[in-house]
Structure 1
Amino acid sequence: MVPLWKQKSGRGDQPVIWDYHVVLLQVGLQSDSLVYDLDSELPFPCSLQLYADQALRSDRNIRPANHRKLRVVPADSFLLNFASDRSHMRNPDGTWKMPPPLYPPIHTAECQMNLNDFISMDPTVGWGAVFSLDHFLQRYLGNSSMLTVASAAASS
């Protein structure tokens, strides 16, 4: 369970606790990296620095069991491999927990469902790389920005 702030379903300054949460990170070469989060109250897109300060915040005051990890999957790998039959969105009796998206389920020629491989934080499973929150911010913001996030005082 992962806390994340500045979410549309949140109340005030309380975090939303997600089982998992998916955002798009556009890594900037000449400019700031941008986060596209469809559930955020922050600007769309949002600079990674602002998102880190206000939505991710720090793990410092969070129980160690809830420290965040992030799986970063390159877009081409995600588009080629991701599949979800939406079974995770159904109750045991087959009814929907929440209305599903209007677009059809996503699948590949080889697979109907591999969501768990994408949301697993086991680095030996799935695609991409798994980072602790601190290592993710260090990698994508750099050391100087890490100080801002740490002083600002976060799954799916």
Structure 2
Amino acid sequence: MHNTPPATAKRMCTSWRKHYLARRRYESVLLFEQEASQYDAPHPVLWDYHVILLLSLAGREYVVDLDTRLDKVIEKNAYLEHTFSSKTPPAYRASISVTPAHIFLNTFASDRRHMKSASGVFSSPPPPWSCIKGTDASSPHNLDDWIDGAIDGSEVIQPVYV
């Protein structure tokens, strides 16, 4: 296993400004234009959470979403327009935790327990790099705290459903 994420991910981390976590208000959030969709356009998926990055480059803001059918790096407004729909039932609308990149990198931790069944078997192959644990993370797994929005330094916002 590799100890670090791929070099391309490391290069992105030097430019990104914020981390966005589309988190559930109830059980799932409905996002569109997702590669994991088994349906025709607009390619909906129900996620229990979804992580994206916000890059600021040359005075413009871009979203990085490795799971979208859209461009992986896309202008923020175009991403929001295609990913969040006004037709989304209120129970499946996301709240978004916006966190400065340095807080996310230093405090996020995941030992991948959320990827395992009750019997301890991975539901999908895990990434090839080691589990993530920021230098200031207080436990080996705090993903649920992130999903619940209980992280100091995060701001919870509601996306504009267009």
- Indicate the TM-score class for this superposition, using the shorter chain for normalisation: 0.7 to 0.9
Is 1:3 paired with 2:33? no
Q: Which runs of no fewer than 5 residues in structure 2 stay unpaired? A: 1-27
Match of 1:22 in 2: 51
Match of 1:105 in 2: 131
Q: Which amino acid aligns with 1:16?
A: V
Aligned pair count reads 130
Q: Which has the higher contact order (CA 8 A, sep 6+)?
A: 1
Q: Which amino acid aligns with 1:25?
A: L
Q: Which runs of no fewer than 5 residues in structure 1 stay unpaired? A: 135-148, 151-156
CA–CA distance in 2 between the matches of 1:54 and 1:130? 21
TM-score (ref. length: structure 2): 0.74
CA–CA distance in 2 between the matches of 1:40 and 1:126? 26
CA–CA distance in 1 between the matches of 2:72 and 2:122? 28
Q: Which amino acid aligns with 2:79?
A: Y
For each residue in 1:44-70, what CA deviation from the matched residue of structure 2 results, as whole angstroms up to 9, or x when unmatched?
A: 210111101111233xx2222222210
**Runs of 4+ with >6 A deviation:** none
For each residue in 1:22-57, what CA deviation from the matched residue of structure 2 results, as whole angstroms up to 9, or x when unmatched?
A: 0001145x5331000000111121011110111123
CA–CA distance in 1 between the matches of 2:93 and 2:101? 25
Partner SS state of residue 35, structure 1? strand
TM-score (ref. length: structure 1): 0.76
Match of 1:43 in 2: 71
Match of 1:146 in 2: none
Q: Percentage identity across aligned positions?
A: 33
CA–CA distance in 2 between the matches of 1:15 and 1:42? 13
Q: Which amino acid aligns with 1:75?
A: A
Partner SS state of residue 36, structure 2? coil
CA–CA distance in 2 between the matches of 1:83 and 1:94? 19
Is 1:81 paired with 2:107? yes
CA–CA distance in 1 between the matches of 2:139 and 2:30? 30
CA–CA distance in 2 between the matches of 1:71 and 1:44? 20
- Cα RMSD, aligned residues only: 1.7
